[in-house]
A and B are shown apart, each in its own frame.
Chain A
Amino acid sequence: MKKRDQRQRRLQMVLREYQTALIAVGILDTQLRRNPSALADYELRPKDFLNFQSNLEATYLLRLFAEFESALRSIWAGIGKTTQPKTSDLLDGLAARRTVPTSVLHEAHDVRVYRNSLVHEDATDAAPVAFGNSIRTLLRFLGYMPPDW
């Protein structure tokens, strides 16, 4: 399998894990509605579940972006670059080398900025990007990368 396919598959695996987690959330939610003390044996409370539920998408978006960034850094090294650019420069640099449509680059930056806002709580002006749109954008960007490097 070509490296690009492998990297795209890794992003899709994060999606599958996220989908599985959503199902698990639904099951646990049902269980807690029947028995609010269901987590007590684990020294957890319903509030912990609610936090878990509300942070789930953000958690998986961080994982998704980490896989994406790892792929970009692998490509960067694979084309002989020894520098460690910041992520925004990495996106721009690879987009320029691979003649990526500017709209695709802008959307990838939107995901990056939103991811930064999740990591750094002070950056609050980022527009949220839903997980589904994020993975579509990042897979699309990777689609313009070389098949192997």
Chain B
Amino acid sequence: MTSSTMPSAPVENWEQIRDTWVADVESLAHDIEQWAAENDWDIKRESKEITEDEIGSYHIPVVRVHTLQGRVYFEPCARFVLGASGRIELSATPTFAQVVMLRANGSWRFLTEDLQDLNKSWSRDGFKDIVSLLLRQA
């Protein structure tokens, strides 16, 4: 159970939807921690508060991955977005590149900032490829 404030426009089963969303993102953050360790990347995990009309305010993990080439930030945006059931942004410094993660039909897709599909799935190799892509973009 995640503590939160009441939503302004609650959807049916909003608490369950919120808790499932937070748990799903926790799971992704856990994957990143594992994959970072395998690649000798340092990580810093923090938490941020998100407020959504449908499920209220809640805390969710934000992860910073430190590599020799730069940093990649994993930052959830919202569970309720138009056309998807979750949006997370991956951005990098010093390149300022960004990749958008959208969830549709239970699967995460990686897209460019122009929302072109990068044809990668959420997996150890997929994530490593995305980190490389983010850190080499000018």
Q: Interface on A for B, CB 8 Å cutoff?
A: 95-106, 146-147
Complex Cα distance, B83 from A96, in Å, reads 6
Determine whether the beta carbon of A101 is less than 8 Å from that of B52: yes
- Interface mask (B67-107 → A, CB under 8 Å = 1, otherwise 0): 00000000001101111100100000000000010100000
* Interchain CB contact (< 8 A) of A103 among B52, B100, B102, B115: B52
A106-B53, A146-B114, A147-B113 known; A99 vs B82 contact (CB < 8 Å): yes
CB neighbours of B53 from chain A (8 A): 102-103, 106
* Interchain CB contact (< 8 A) of A146 among B77, B82, B113: B113
Determine whether the beta carbon of A102 is less than 8 Å from that of B81: yes
Determine whether the beta carbon of A99 is less than 8 Å from that of B80: no
Determine whether the beta carbon of B81 is less than 8 Å from that of A101: yes
The closest CB in chain B to the CB of A100 belongs to: B82
Closest beta carbon of chain B to A147's beta carbon, Å: 5
Beyond A99-B84, A102-B78, A146-B114: 19 further Cβ-contacts under 8 Å?
A97-B115, A98-B115, A99-B82, A99-B87, A99-B102, A99-B115, A100-B81, A100-B82, A101-B52, A101-B78, A102-B52, A102-B54, A102-B80, A102-B82, A103-B53, A103-B80, A104-B78, A106-B9, A146-B115
